[in-house]
């Protein structure tokens, strides 16, 4: 039927967070290290700062530890790539995201591809984008993943 369905995003978000919190608790209870997210934030973009704060709050809410690494907008591309390489090598870092947009002198595609595909929580690495397009197991970008969850949980058919 063509009837519109009203969906409570807040209610779904609460439900998903509760499930994630339970999974993290089980993971830690089984003797595993608590998952850790590192977020790299370059410059003073207020929207970016707000997004990152929301991400780290959401992580804390489900029991994931996180850190926000602030760097000035004047950072060179090489310095940023060195920082990413260091975080890629750090076994205590499970997830890594570099908040976009980046200053104009930095090549965003190069930076996204520098993040290890295994730690790429944004799903922006070219390997993860390709795997997603081929319907293979990959990290999905948060917004489309969220939309997909809403469709699945509310019985929408595709």
Tens of pLDDT, residues 23-60: 999 999 999 999 999 999 999 999 999 999 999 999 99
Q: Which residues contact 101 (CB under 8 A, 6 or more apart)?
A: 45, 48, 108
What pTM was estimated for this model as a whole?
0.83
* Half-sphere exposure (Cβ direction) of 67: Cα atoms closer than 13 Å: 9
Q: Which residues contact 126 (CB under 8 A, 6 or more apart)?
A: 112, 113
- Mean pLDDT across 114-133: 74
Domains identified in the chain and CATH numbers: 9-153 (3.40.50.10860)
Token duo for residue 45: 């973009």
Q: What is the pLDDT of residues 92-106, one digit of tens each?
A: 999 999 999 999 999
Residue found under tokens 């980046």: 102
Cβ atoms of 66 and 59 within 8 Å: the answer is yes
| The Cα angle at residue 113 between residues 111 and 114, in degrees rounded to 5 | 65
Predicted local distance difference test score (pLDDT) of residue 157: 53
Confidence of residue 62 (pLDDT cuts 50, 70, 90): very high
Report the distance separating Cα 65 and Cα 33, nearest Å: 10
Report the distance separating Cα 94 and Cα 64, nearest Å: 10
Cβ atoms of 145 and 20 within 8 Å: the answer is no
Report the distance separating Cα 52 and Cα 48, nearest Å: 6
Percentage of the residues of the chain whose pLDDT score is greater than 90: 66
């Amino acid at each position: 039927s063509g009837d519109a369905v009203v969906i409570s995003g807040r209610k779904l978000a609460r439900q998903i967070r509760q499930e994630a919190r339970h999974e993290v608790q089980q993971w830690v209870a089984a003797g595993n290290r608590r998952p850790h997210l590192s977020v790299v934030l370059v410059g003073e973009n207020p929207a970016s700062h707000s997004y990152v704060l929301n991400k780290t709050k959401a992580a804390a809410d489900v029991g994931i530890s996180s850190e926000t690494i602030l760097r000035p907008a004047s950072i060179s591309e090489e310095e940023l790539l060195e920082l990413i390489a260091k975080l890629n090598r750090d076994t205590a870092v499970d997830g890594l995201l570099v908040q976009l947009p980046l200053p104009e002198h930095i090549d965003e595609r190069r930076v996204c591809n520098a993040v290890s595909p295994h730690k790429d929580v944004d799903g922006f690495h070219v390997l993860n984008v390709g795997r997603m397009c081929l319907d293979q197991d990959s990290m999905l970008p948060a917004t489309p993943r969220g939309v997909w969850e809403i469709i699945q949980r509310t019985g929408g058919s595709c």
